[in-house]
């Protein structure tokens, strides 16, 4: 298998796109300090998986998997596999729920911290953490 | 009363004493009276077992089956019965002493103290009657945990640090080494039941035997084999009744008792003798004996000196096992009793001196013998018994150990036992000499120093008499213990 | 005629037990919201949870002998329809999860009303039930994609539950947000893995998957799928390098939530991992890919030591226990890695024993938070005297965590060491006991602070209310009880290990 062959690259086009999207999404999640941008990255990441599933169900030359109205089934017609599409409907719903919950959390974070930038929040938290974790006085607590 | 109920009763009575101590914590007389009643009752129950069973080994009674072939099970055999009689009998004496000491010294938290004390006795009874290594280990750990609050009793920084060392070493060795040894034994032999002649013969061979023995020998931290002996001096921060009963009798004897059990019923004497796996242990024990005696010489604090003396004396018993001869085992077992009686006397005397004068260092105790003749008299008798001079109990166990060493053709060991006796003289008798013959230098400062209260001086006097009595009954005890070394 | 109908209905009900125990909390959750009355929310939630617990007990009693209950949802036969399967392995987990939730709810009442404003309390119980639904669904289902759906139900409600801690400490919000990001990445990885498996096999039913996968272990698609599933679930389990969300989430969540999550959520995730490793894939697959040497052993050992060391240096009891949880997960992973019946038994039984131990400990923490205002060691000084019952129960939990003989924790460590020795891995046995010695250090520190130090503030601290003490003591007694009475735990763990090791053949019968 020559992974540089044009045939290979074009033949797996949907996977390339899937990987590019996935990495873009993950990169945004990791690198961006803005919480909303993190959620956007997460969305892109999830969408890539939706694309992956949807393209997986494609059967070459297949048509939309809709049962003929007249009820006569023609075995010569190839249909795409509908199951991954159905699955991904569920995943989309989950994705929407996650996004909305994430955004709701961001609103609450902004109320409490007056910022949605990770570095500001971290500084605030670190100062609290350090004052909390001062050593105990000498009465038995120290090890 | 059948034996099984008697065993359970001997454990339930101390457990009941724990609860009664917690319930009646604000009523000192009722609380201490009930505990004393429980102590006497426990002793009577154990004597009842002796009366019914004698020196035979009973069937095993399984209380709960925890895993297949592994359960909480009890039986009576001579060694365990001897240990139970010893611990429950001395519990009565120490309890009386403890009441006097705690009240005379105005210590705090009496109820917690006596509750934990009774809990420790409960654990000791479980150890004495355990029918397999699993049960023994369970109660071994209960003993460690229940004595921890006693060591930390004073709550001072020193007490907390001492208790930390105590717990760290005991839990560390038992979980880190002993547990591995037990599970290893279970994995190769398929059983942990105490069986005459051992369970390991034919199951394990080569250097693995010596490694397993090492895991046991170091894992049983309560036997205070060097280098895991540090907990014993650390535990001396505890009030003296604790040092007397627990760190001269119950806890350390539980350690060497476990060693004896492992040597006799898990490995088997013959198996140890034929494989020669215990030779290294013999040398280590010999080193422990001499080294800790020398350290004892350097200690000015009386309790610390006694603690190192205990480490040295415990190694006598380990040495007895490592010799892997019948006489060695018998001598070791007998030494459990003799040393217990002698050392508890010494510790109670140390406590008595502390109650009367609040002195802990030997160098300050000059001339006290004339003021406290009973305490110092008892100390002399206890010391002579530890040294091993007739007509005191300690002479017999040393005699048997020397014969055991000769049987095993280990003449070096004979020499070590003799040198150690001389060292005993050197670190124990000076106190008596200073007490009786030197003139005290600070009597003018404390004119009101007198003999300690009755409840404090009577118990050591009683156990000192016990040392003398044991000299004449040693033969009976030896005969009683014979079955443990008889051919299976 | 009438009796016949009743009889028929009863029979039908028994048949529907596997779905009922998921459905009851699922339906009660919206019901609580619709009823909308705060005083009714708790009783409804408790009844739902208790009913599920009864059903879980019934299911466990049916399958503990080694049987399997297969339930076809809507009558659609697998592999096309969704199947629910109950065998000893998941019945045992169900028993743990429902049992804990039923005990946490009475405990939560007092704790929740002190840690949250009134307006959110009704919703809290609804979310709690949704979380329970998710966990039960994940455990019961035999359909791989269904696992993902229920996993997300439980995860989404968990994020909200953790965020409820913000009324006490605002850092709960960022903890929840971080967990949301990591949890979603984990779940999505899991879905990617499933996609690969689906590409290779064209099925999502676990038994069917196992059957079709058995010939193609060297396929790159299948291996990639396994890797994604392992990492995805590993995030939920908090396997060592993937544990970063856990300490903050456990520390800042409301006490009742921490108790529930620590005792159940990671345990269910471990169950899923076991199911995939042993039922969907076969143990041979692990050997073939040498996943054991590269992933399981090193990370399990790292967790056991690194997390335990970190736990020692904490000054907040809740955070300390969170790190200890990560360490304990290492033990379970190690049991899995040994790939033997004893090892698997050790993992499963530790899953249960650690669940009840941590529940007892976190319940104790909740009581301290309620009465002394915090879980930092400085708040706990000398509480052994003022809160004797809470402290005694917490100490029992602590010694079970160490694995002192006579407690539940001892048995699992015993089995784990035995499993290691059976394989001849004696250095591993030493490492296992060595790491439990680290537990001695951090537990003993707690005991010293509770009993041997004097309180710094003059505030008079009361004993915790009875509604918290009772569940706490039930858990503490369970820690002792399951240290002696092992018919249920050992029996179930043995049956579960056998069910898992029999692999696809066990799934197909």
Give pLDDT tens digits for C329-359.
999 999 888 888 888 899 999 999 999 999 9
Task: Give the closest-approach CA distance of A137 to chain B in angstroms.
Answer: 13
Asked if the Cβ–Cβ distance from A84 to C198 is below 8 Å, we say yes
Task: Tell me the C-alpha distance between B163 and C171, whole Å.
Answer: 38
Check CB contact of C429 with chain B, cutoff 8 Å.
Answer: yes
Among all residues of chain A, which has the CA nearest to that of C381? A141
Asked if the Cβ–Cβ distance from B155 to C452 is below 8 Å, we say yes
Check CB contact of A27 with chain C, cutoff 8 Å.
Answer: no
pLDDT band with cut points at 50, 70 and 90 for residue A141? very low
Which chains form contacts with chain B, at 3 or more CB pairs under 8 Å? A, C
Let me know: does C127 contact C29? Beta carbons within 8 Å: yes
Residue B144 scores a pLDDT above 80: yes
Task: Give the closest-approach CA distance of C53 to chain B in angstroms.
Answer: 25
Among all residues of chain A, which has the CA nearest to that of C317? A133
Average pLDDT of every residue of chain C: 87
Task: Tell me the C-alpha distance between B165 and B171, whole Å.
Answer: 10
Task: Give the closest-approach CA distance of A118 to chain C in angstroms.
Answer: 9
Task: Tell me the C-alpha distance between B145 and B147, whole Å.
Answer: 6
pLDDT at res. A137: 46
Asked if the Cβ–Cβ distance from C378 to A136 is below 8 Å, we say yes
Cα B234 from chain centre: 16
Residue C396 scores a pLDDT above 60: yes
What ipTM was reported for this prediction? 0.89
Bond before C261 cis per omega within 30 degrees: no
Summarised one tens digit per residue, pLDDT across range C111-144 is 888 888 888 888 999 999 999 999 999 999 989 9
CB nearest to A108's CB, from C173, C191, C452: C173
pLDDT band with cut points at 50, 70 and 90 for residue A142? very low
Among all residues of chain A, which has the CA nearest to that of C313? A143
Chain A residues within an 8 Å CB radius of C156: 94, 97-98, 101
User: CA geometry: angle at A93 spanning A88 and A96, to 5°?
Assistant: 125
Chain A residues within an 8 Å CB radius of C224: none
Between C402 and A132, the higher pLDDT residue: C402
pLDDT over 90, % of chain C: 41
A56 found inside a domain: yes
User: For testing the chain A interface, which of C79, C173, C252 should be mutated: the one with the most A CBs within 10 Å?
Assistant: C173
Residue C437 scores a pLDDT above 80: yes
pLDDT at res. C157: 94
Asked if the Cβ–Cβ distance from B186 to C433 is below 8 Å, we say no
CA distances from C467 to B185, C106, C126 (A): 45, 6, 20
**Tokens representing residue C249 in the block:** 């989430």
Task: Give the closest-approach CA distance of A134 to chain C in angstroms.
Answer: 9
Task: Give the closest-approach CA distance of A103 to chain B in angstroms.
Answer: 50
Task: Give the closest-approach CA distance of C377 to chain A in angstroms.
Answer: 8
Check CB contact of A40 with chain C, cutoff 8 Å.
Answer: no
pLDDT at res. B296: 87
A74 found inside a domain: no
Asked if the Cβ–Cβ distance from C192 to A42 is below 8 Å, we say no
Give the count of beta carbons closer than 10 Å to the beta carbon of residue A76. Answer: 4
Asked if the Cβ–Cβ distance from B67 to C403 is below 8 Å, we say no
Asked if the Cβ–Cβ distance from C418 to B187 is below 8 Å, we say yes
Average pLDDT of every residue of chain B: 84
Check CB contact of A141 with chain B, cutoff 8 Å.
Answer: no
For chain C, give every domain's residue range: 2-508
Chain B residues within an 8 Å CB radius of C399: 145
Which chains form contacts with chain A, at 3 or more CB pairs under 8 Å? B, C
Interface of B with A in 136-175 (CB under 8 A): 157, 160
Residue C505 scores a pLDDT above 50: no
pLDDT at res. B356: 79
Summarised one tens digit per residue, pLDDT across range B224-246 is 888 888 888 888 888 888 888 77
Which chains form contacts with chain C, at 3 or more CB pairs under 8 Å? A, B
Query: Closest by alpha carbon to C22, among C149, C176, C114, C124?
Result: C149
pLDDT over 90, % of chain B: 2
A136 found inside a domain: no
Asked if the Cβ–Cβ distance from B183 to C414 is below 8 Å, we say yes
pLDDT at res. B448: 59
Asked if the Cβ–Cβ distance from C145 to A90 is below 8 Å, we say yes
Confidence (pTM)? 0.87
Mean pLDDT is lowest, of A68-82, B276-290, B445-459, B461-475, for B445-459
Check CB contact of A1 with chain C, cutoff 8 Å.
Answer: no
pLDDT band with cut points at 50, 70 and 90 for residue B102? confident
Asked if the Cβ–Cβ distance from A91 to C191 is below 8 Å, we say yes
pLDDT band with cut points at 50, 70 and 90 for residue C322? very high
Summarised one tens digit per residue, pLDDT across range B307-339 is 888 888 888 888 888 888 888 888 888 888 888
User: CA geometry: angle at B445 spanning B443 and B449, to 5°?
Assistant: 55
Check CB contact of A43 with chain C, cutoff 8 Å.
Answer: no
Chain C residues within an 8 Å CB radius of B145: 399, 404
Q: What number is the average pLDDT over the span C476-495?
A: 86
Task: Give the closest-approach CA distance of B155 to chain C in angstroms.
Answer: 6
Task: Give the closest-approach CA distance of C453 to chain A in angstroms.
Answer: 5
Among all residues of chain C, which has the CA nearest to that of B64? C484
Task: Give the closest-approach CA distance of C465 to chain B in angstroms.
Answer: 21
Q: Which domain holds residue A116?
A: 12-60+80-125
Check CB contact of C385 with chain B, cutoff 8 Å.
Answer: no
Helix (H) or strand (E) holding C332: helix C317-337
User: CA geometry: angle at C6 spanning C1 and C12, to 5°?
Assistant: 125
Q: What number is the average pLDDT over the span A77-82?
A: 82
A109 found inside a domain: yes
Q: How many CB pairs under 8 A join B and C?
A: 71
Domain of A117, CATH number, reads 1.10.287.3510
Chain C residues within an 8 Å CB radius of A46: 184, 188
Asked if the Cβ–Cβ distance from C171 to A125 is below 8 Å, we say yes
**Tokens representing residue B231 in the block:** 């907990």
Check the CA dihedral A36-A42-A44-A50 and report its sign.
negative
pLDDT at res. C1: 44
pLDDT band with cut points at 50, 70 and 90 for residue A139? very low
Check CB contact of B64 with chain A, cutoff 8 Å.
Answer: no
Chain B residues within an 8 Å CB radius of A138: 157
Q: Which residue has the tokens 């750990």?
A: B141
Summarised one tens digit per residue, pLDDT across range B9-32 is 888 888 888 888 888 877 778 888
**Tokens representing residue C443 in the block:** 């537990």
Among all residues of chain A, which has the CA nearest to that of C157? A101
Name the domain count of chain A. Answer: 1
pLDDT at res. B36: 87
A86 found inside a domain: yes
Would you state the torsion angle of the CA atoms of residues C414, C416, C422, C427, taken in this order, to the nearest 10 degrees?
-100
Contacts with A78 (C-beta within 8 Å, 6 or more apart), sequence order: A59, A60, A61, A62, A63
Asked if the Cβ–Cβ distance from C417 to B179 is below 8 Å, we say yes
Question: What are the contacts of C57-60 at 24+ separation with CB within 8 A?
Answer: C57/C95, C58/C14, C58/C17, C59/C17, C59/C18, C59/C21, C59/C86, C59/C91, C59/C94, C60/C88, C60/C91, C60/C92, C60/C94, C60/C95, C60/C492
Task: Tell me the C-alpha distance between B71 and B482, whole Å.
Answer: 28
pLDDT over 70, % of chain B: 97
pLDDT band with cut points at 50, 70 and 90 for residue A1? low
Residue B201 scores a pLDDT above 50: yes
Phi, psi (degrees; rounded to nearest 5) at C305: -95, -50
CB nearest to C454's CB, from A26, A46, A139: A139
Task: Give the closest-approach CA distance of A106 to chain C in angstroms.
Answer: 8
Would you state the torsion angle of the CA atoms of residues C328, C334, C336, C339, taken in this order, to the nearest 10 degrees?
-160
**SS3 of residue C441 by DSSP:** helix
Q: What number is the average pLDDT over the span C247-253?
A: 91
A134 found inside a domain: no
Check CB contact of A74 with chain C, cutoff 8 Å.
Answer: no
Mean pLDDT is lowest, of C196-205, C226-235, C483-492, for C483-492
Exposed/middle/buried for residue B205 (C-beta within 10 Å: 0-12, 13-18, 19+): exposed
Asked if the Cβ–Cβ distance from C411 to B67 is below 8 Å, we say yes
Could you report how far apart the first and last alpha carbons of chain B are, in Å? 29
Query: Closest by alpha carbon to C183, among C221, C145, C153?
Result: C153
Chain B residues within an 8 Å CB radius of C451: 149
Among all residues of chain C, which has the CA nearest to that of A82? C202
Asked if the Cβ–Cβ distance from C176 to A128 is below 8 Å, we say no
Let me know: does B90 contact B340? Beta carbons within 8 Å: yes
Check CB contact of A70 with chain C, cutoff 8 Å.
Answer: no
Chain C residues within an 8 Å CB radius of B152: 448, 452
Task: Give the closest-approach CA distance of A141 to chain B in angstroms.
Answer: 10
């Amino acid at each position: 298998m020559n992974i540089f062959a044009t045939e290979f690259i074009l033949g797996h086009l949907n996977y390339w796109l899937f990987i590019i999207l996935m990495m873009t999404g993950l990169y945004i999640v990791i690198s961006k300090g803005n919480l909303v941008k993190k959620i956007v990255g997460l969305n892109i990441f999830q969408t890539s998986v939706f694309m992956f599933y949807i393209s997986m169900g494609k059967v070459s030359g297949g048509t939309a998997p809709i049962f003929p109205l007249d009820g006569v089934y023609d075995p010569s017609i190839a249909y795409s596999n509908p199951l991954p599409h159905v699955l991904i409907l569920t995943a989309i719903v989950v994705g929407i729920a996650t996004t909305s919950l994430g955004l709701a959390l961001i609103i609450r974070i902004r109320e409490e911290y007056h910022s949605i930038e990770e570095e500001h929040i971290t500084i605030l938290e670190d100062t609290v953490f350090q004052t909390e974790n001062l050593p105990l006085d000498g009465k038995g607590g120290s090890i | 009363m059948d034996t099984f109920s008697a065993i359970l009763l001997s454990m339930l009575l101390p457990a009941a004493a724990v609860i009664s101590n917690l319930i009646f914590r604000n009523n000192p007389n009722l609380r201490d009276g009930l505990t004393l009643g429980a102590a006497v009752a426990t002793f009577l129950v154990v004597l009842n077992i002796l009366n019914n069973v004698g020196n035979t080994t009973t069937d095993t009674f399984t209380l709960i089956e925890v895993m297949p072939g592994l359960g909480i099970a009890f039986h009576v055999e001579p060694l365990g019965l001897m240990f139970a009689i010893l611990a429950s009998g001395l519990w009565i004496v120490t309890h009386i002493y403890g009441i006097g000491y705690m009240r005379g010294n105005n210590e705090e938290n009496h109820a917690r103290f006596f509750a934990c004390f009774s809990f420790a006795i409960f654990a000791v009874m479980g150890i004495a009657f355990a029918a397999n290594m699993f049960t023994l280990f369970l109660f071994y750990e209960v003993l460690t945990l229940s004595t921890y609050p006693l060591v930390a009793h004073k709550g001072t920084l020193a007490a907390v640090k001492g208790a930390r060392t105590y717990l760290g070493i005991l839990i560390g060795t038992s979980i880190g080494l002993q547990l591995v040894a037990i599970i290893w034994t279970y994995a190769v032999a398929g059983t942990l039941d105490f069986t005459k002649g051992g369970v390991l013969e034919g199951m394990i061979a080569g250097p693995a035997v010596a490694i397993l023995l090492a895991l046991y020998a170091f894992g049983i931290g309560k036997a205070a084999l060097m280098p895991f002996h540090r907990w014993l001096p650390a535990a001396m921060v505890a009030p003296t009744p604790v040092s007397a009963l627990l760190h001269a009798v119950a806890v350390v004897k539980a350690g060497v008792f476990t060693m004896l059990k492992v040597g006799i019923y898990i490995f088997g004497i013959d198996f140890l003798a034929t494989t020669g796996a215990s030779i290294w242990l013999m040398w280590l024990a010999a080193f422990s004996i001499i080294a800790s005696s020398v350290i004892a010489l350097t200690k000015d604090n009386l309790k610390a000196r006694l603690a190192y003396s205990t480490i040295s004396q415990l190694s006598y018993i380990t040495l007895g096992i490592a010799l892997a001869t019948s006489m060695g085992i018998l001598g070791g077992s007998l030494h459990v009793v003799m040393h217990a009686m002698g050392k508890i006397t010494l510790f109670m005397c140390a406590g008595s001196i502390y109650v009367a004068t609040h002195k802990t260092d030997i160098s300050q105790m000059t001339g006290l013998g004339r003021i406290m003749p009973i305490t110092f008299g008892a100390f002399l008798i206890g010391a002579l018994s530890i040294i091993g001079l007739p007509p005191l109990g300690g002479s017999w166990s040393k005699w048997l150990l020397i014969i055991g060493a000769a049987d095993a053709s280990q003449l070096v060991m004979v020499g070590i036992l003799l040198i150690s006796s001389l060292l005993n003289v050197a670190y124990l008798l000076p106190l008596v000499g200073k007490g009786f013959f030197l003139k005290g230098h600070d009597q003018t400062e404390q004119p009101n120093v007198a003999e300690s209260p009755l409840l404090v001086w009577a118990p050591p006097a009683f156990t000192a008499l016990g040392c003398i009595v044991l000299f004449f009954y040693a033969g009976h005890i030896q005969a009683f213990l014979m079955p443990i070394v008889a051919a299976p | 005629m009438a009796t016949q109908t009743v009889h028929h209905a009863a029979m039908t009900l028994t048949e529907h037990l596997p779905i009922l125990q998921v459905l009851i909390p699922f339906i009660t959750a919206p019901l609580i919201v619709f009823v909308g009355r705060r005083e009714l929310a708790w009783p409804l939630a408790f009844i739902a949870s208790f009913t599920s617990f009864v059903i879980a007990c019934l299911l466990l009693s049916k399958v503990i002998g080694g049987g399997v209950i297969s339930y076809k949802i809507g009558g659609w036969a697998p592999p096309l329809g969704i199947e629910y399967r109950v065998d000893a392995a998941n019945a045992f987990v169900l028993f743990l999860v429902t049992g804990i939730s039923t005990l946490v709810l009475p405990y939560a009442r007092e704790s929740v009303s002190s840690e949250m404003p009134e307006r959110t309390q009704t919703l809290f119980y609804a979310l709690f039930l949704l979380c329970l639904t998710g966990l039960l669904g994940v455990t019961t289902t035999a359909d791989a994609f269904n696992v993902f759906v229920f996993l997300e139900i439980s995860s989404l409600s968990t994020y909200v539950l953790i965020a409820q801690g913000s009324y006490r400490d605002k850092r709960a919000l960022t903890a929840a947000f971080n967990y949301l990001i990591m949890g979603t990445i984990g779940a999505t990885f899991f879905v990617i893995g499933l996609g690969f498996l689906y590409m290779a096999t064209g099925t999502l039913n676990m038994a069917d998957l196992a059957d079709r996968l058995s010939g193609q272990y060297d396929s790159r698609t299948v291996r990639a799928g396994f890797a994604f599933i392992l990492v995805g679930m590993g995030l939920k389990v908090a396997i060592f390098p993937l544990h970063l969300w856990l300490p903050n989430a456990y520390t800042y969540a409301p006490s009742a939530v921490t108790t529930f999550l620590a005792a159940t959520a990671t345990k269910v995730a471990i169950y899923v991992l076991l199911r995939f490793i042993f039922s969907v894939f076969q143990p041979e697959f692990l050997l073939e890919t040498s996943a054991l040497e590269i992933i399981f052993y090193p990370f399990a050992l790292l967790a056991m030591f690194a997390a335990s060391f970190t736990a020692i240096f904490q000054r907040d009891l809740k955070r300390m226990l969170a790190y200890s949880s990560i360490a304990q997960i290492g033990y379970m992973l190690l049991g899995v890695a040994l790939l033997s019946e004893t090892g698997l038994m050790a993992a499963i039984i530790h899953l249960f024993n650690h669940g009840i131990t941590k529940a007892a400990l976190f319940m104790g923490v909740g009581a301290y938070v309620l009465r002394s205002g915090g879980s930092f060691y400085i708040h706990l000084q000398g509480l052994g005297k003022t809160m004797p019952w809470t402290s005694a129960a917490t100490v029992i939990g602590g010694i079970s965590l160490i694995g002192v003989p006579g407690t539940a924790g001892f048995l699992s460590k015993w089995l784990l060491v035995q499993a290691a020795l059976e394989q001849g891995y004696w250095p591993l046995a030493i490492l296992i006991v060595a790491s439990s010695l680290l537990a001695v250090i951090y537990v003993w520190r707690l005991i010293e602070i509770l009993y041997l130090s004097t309180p710094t503030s003059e505030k008079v601290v009361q004993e915790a209310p009875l509604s918290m003490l009772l569940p706490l003591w039930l858990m503490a007694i369970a820690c002792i009880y399951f240290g002696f009475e092992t018919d249920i735990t050992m029996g179930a763990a043995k049956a579960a290990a056998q069910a898992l090791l029999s692999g696809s053949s066990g799934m197909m019968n």
